[in-house]
Amino acid sequence: MNNRILIALAPLLLNVACATTGPAVTGGAEPGTDFVIDMQPILRFAPTPQSVSVGDTVEFRNVSAFVHTVSTRPENPEEAAVTALPAGAESFDSGDIPAGGIYQHTFTVPGTYKYFCDPHHGAGMVGTIIVTAG
């Protein structure tokens, strides 16, 4: 799969003293990143919705002090309401992303994706990505 998790521990360790504002993910996006979506301290993904093209890689960056996830779980009735995947697209789930960590996903099937943060979707932390062909 194209999913990969890159845990950046350095920003986490460097920002323990300013946890009230959350550590900033420092530096630029990883090579090959086409779009960046932040996981914000106010429990929101931004920007959302985000339009991308087939083959684009999105880097989700946890710029907050909380653990977040980037999840799709159509098989779970409770979470199906905050999940949408185009026909033929496989679900994806980052697992826990610590403060300062990132998660990347490459979108290979066009259509509309709705994803959520596992601990915070009840607070409205949901997002939409629209993938257009070519």
Residue 71 structure tokens: 């999840």
The DSSP element (H or E) to which 12 belongs, if any, is: helix 9-14
CB of 71 closer than 8 Å to CB of 79: yes
| Minimum CB distance to Cu ion, residue 60 (Å) | 11
| Minimum CB distance to Cu ion, residue 111 (Å) | 24
Using the minimum distance from each CB to Cu ion, give the nearer residue, 68 or 114. 68
Contact positions vs Cu ion (CB under 5 A): 68, 117, 120, 125
Hey, CA dihedral for 97, 100, 105, 110, is it positive or negative?
A: positive
The DSSP element (H or E) to which 59 belongs, if any, is: strand 57-62
Using the minimum distance from each CB to Cu ion, give the nearer residue, 87 or 125. 125
Using the minimum distance from each CB to Cu ion, give the nearer residue, 105 or 120. 120
| Minimum CB distance to Cu ion, residue 32 (Å) | 25
